[in-house]
Every structure is written in structure tokens, then in C-alpha cells.
Amino acid sequence: MPTSLFPTLRRGDSHPVLQVTKSQLARLGLPVGDAESDEFDRTFDSAIREFQQQRGIVCDGVLGPETFSQVELARFRLGDRVLSFDPVRPMRGDDVAELQMRLSRLGMYTERLDFIFGPQTDAAVRDAQQNLGIQPDGIVGPATLHALSGVVRSGSAGTVFALRERVRLTATGASLAGRVFVIEAGTTPRDFTALHLSQEQADAEARISGDIARRVTGRLTALGAAAITADARSDPRLGDELGAAAVVSITQDHSPSPVANGVATYYFGNSVREQGLSPTGRRLSSFIQRELTARTGFTDCRAHAASWDSLSVLRTPKVHVVAGYLSNAEDARRLADDTVRDSMAEAIVVALQRLYLQGEADPETGTLSVTAIAEATGKTHP
């Protein structure tokens, strides 16, 4: 389903493509109403929102390019079609992610579950076929799936990628010194092109998020870390290129409703493929969310798994921080306060430190300070 061929649709619209989309969502068990109708009614609006929530994308009830893309990924279950590597037009879908999961449980696929049958997946398939006594042609048909089903333990959990991420985290000590962190600011124009900000809104986000990011990098540098500040013009893959320990993106949100307010954090993953998420991203997201709400008094909008392109494009653990709503008068007032932005920066750095603390060394939320970290590590906090 080439998403570029279809318009952006919302409740009240009608279009022939809605019949196809309703059929695909009905197959997933979602209540779409009359599947033969091309009307975008209230029932289908609820189904779209539920689907968006399941897939970890923006839950706005709008059937646009991102949602069409996710509908297409969800179109196939493993076994529905024969899978193989096509370097020109790689196959994508939930069936590919399920295949990657099975191969990962066997220790043969060690990358992130990305729903794409790329070179790494092809190599893992051929390795599995060789070990299972099947012709190693890279073609995943009935014979390969039958053989895989016989050796994958149904009770196994997690992936090799997730295991490696955990091991890398616990084996490197508690200090932030020597680690590389990328702190992004004001990336909404780059990461969410469907959200049309005015120049004034984009400038305000860049100014406020940029100030928080500079305060974060200043603290990290004082603790001996290499902290890089990036913005909407920066390469979204910078964290991978630098071998960063983590990427933190800081933005503000905007809503048509002036009531929307609070802080939220997001990490790579979704409720459909929970085992494919980033365990480090989830843990860091939780720490940042807890520290932010404990130190600033902003409404707690919680930590969420999301499969946004800006999160899935990286192998480096990444957390996207939505630090308040500029469209909300009270949030905007707080964000204009230097002390609030300083508290946000403190919260993010403390959360990064908590990520590397183990067991009894992990203090209660809101009690650890950058000054205490600096004193414990022999650094000088500015």
C-alpha cells in the first residue's frame, strides 16, 4: 500500500481506500463497524485510535502517512507469504519482525527488531538453515518455518539485542566519565513533519529546549562525560556514528486544546512487539520521567513505548522528552522560569546517572544531585 497515493483522512471523510483499511484492521481484531462502507465514522475513528495506541505512534485519529505505513506493516503474519532478501525493495512487515524474534531467540539475529528483511536478517536465516540441515538459500517458506518452529522454545523471552544492551550497561561501571551522550533540542520540525509549527512556535521550542540541553551538557561535561548538543538540522543517526551511550531528545509539545499539559517521555518499542523494545531506553525513560515530575511539579503524563522513526532509526538507546506544552499557559509560564529549566536539566543528568547505578547504590527519586555525583567521582561541579 504505497502511502503517498492516499490522502490524509479523518472522521467525517469518505474514500474507497477505507474499505481496504477497515478489512486489514478487522483482521487484527479491531472493531471497525461496517467494513463495506467507505465512511470514516465514529466507530472507525475509535478503531484507528486504538490501533495507533497499540503501534506506539501519535494517537490522533488521523489516517495519514505514518498510520498507513503501520497498517501496511501489520498486513502480514508469519507464514502468510514467502520471505526473502530483496536489496532493491526490502520486504517489511510484522511477519519479518516475528521471524527476527525467532532467530534472535536462537542467537542468530543480534540486531534490533526493525520489521525489515535486510542483509543481517538474510545472513541469520542462512545461518539457521545451515544449522537445521536445510538448503541455505535465504528463502523463508514452509520448510524453514516448520524447522524453526521445532527448535524455538515457546517459553523463551527477550532477544539477543536486548540481552547485549543489558550486558553493555551493567559491565561498564557506575561513572559517567568517558561516556558519550548526544543531547538533542527542538527537533519537532525534523522528527514530526506532519505537525506544522509556525515559525514563532518552532523558535520558542528551539530556544527553551536548547537552553535545557545546554544546561544538561554543561553538567555532563563537568562529570567527565563527552556531551554533544544537536538540533533539528543534525543527523538523527548521530548517536550511532559517535558510539554514544544514550541519546536524549528534548522538545515541547503543542496542542489545539489549551488544557493539554505536562511532561512525558518516550522510548523505542510498542505493545504489539513488547520483546522488541529497548530495555535501556525503557529504564532511562522511566528514570527521567520520575525525576522530572518529582523536581518540577509538572503533570505526570508517564513514560511510553513508541515506534516513531526518530526512535527506531537508532541502535543507540534513546529517550524523547516532551518537556511541557507551550500551548498551555501554565506550562509556558513555568518553562520561562530559569530555575524550572535548571531543575529539568538536573533531573535528566541525575536520571542518566541512575541508569548506571546498581542495587543498593540506587537512591530514592528526587534525592540525588549532580553536586553529590561530582563529589563522589572527584569531579568539580560548576
- Asked whether this chain's domains 3-73 and 171-377 adopt the same fold, the reply is no
pLDDT at 315: 84
Domain at 94-156, CATH class? mainly alpha
Instruction: Give strand pairing partners of 305.
Output: 267
Distance, CA of 176 to CA of 229 (rounded, Å): 17
Domain at 171-377, CATH class? alpha beta
* pLDDT at residue 130 is higher than 90: no
pTM listed for this prediction: 0.73
Checking DSSP bridges between strand 263-268 and strand 318-325, what pairing results, if any? antiparallel
* pLDDT at residue 157 is higher than 50: no
Residue type, 175: S
Distance, CA of 203 to CA of 198 (rounded, Å): 9
* pLDDT at residue 106 is higher than 70: yes
Q: Determine what percent of the chain is predicted with pLDDT higher than 70.
A: 86
CA 66 to mean position of chain CA atoms:
14
| Exposure letters 192-227 (e unless 16+ CB within 10 A, then b) | beeeebeeebbebbbebbbbbbbbbbbbbebbebbb
Distance, CA of 332 to CA of 339 (rounded, Å): 14
Q: Where are the domains of the chain?
A: 3-73, 94-156, 171-377
| pLDDT-derived band at 360, boundaries 50, 70, 90 | very low
CATH architecture of 3-73: Orthogonal Bundle (1.10)
